[in-house]
Amino acid sequence: ALRQLETCCPDLLITDVDMPEMDGFGLVNALRGSPRTQHIPLVMITSAEDRHREEALRIGVGLVMGKPYDEAALIAHIRSFKFFARSEEPEALACA
């Protein structure tokens, strides 16, 4: 994910907690630590929602959802992010 973010800048990133090599928390910390990617809205999916929620929100995840999750609820939450309401300021959202 970090290598791909060197050449692109997504409007939103959805990550799992459990991944090989770097977990979702490591990815979020790397994204929040870079001025280039710190603005990207983040969603974290986890099988241990209660255990991970507080830490995820503390480090800058906008939404934490447990598995299994309702796809319609995920889409509704994403649409509610402030990011999607600021369409009049696209230059503020682009990665530098």
How far apart are the C-alpha atoms of 16 and 33, rounded to whole Å? 19
pLDDT digits (tens, 9 = 90+) for 22-73: 999 999 999 999 998 998 999 999 988 788 999 999 999 999 999 999 999 9
pLDDT digits (tens, 9 = 90+) for 59-96: 999 999 999 999 999 998 888 876 555 444 444 445 55
Q: What are the phi and psi torsion angles at 59 (to 5°)?
A: -90, 0
Enumerate residues 6+ apart whose C-beta is below 8 A from 37: 5, 9, 30, 31, 95
Closest CA to 15 of 58, 63, 55: 63
Task: Give me the count of residues in the chain.
Answer: 96
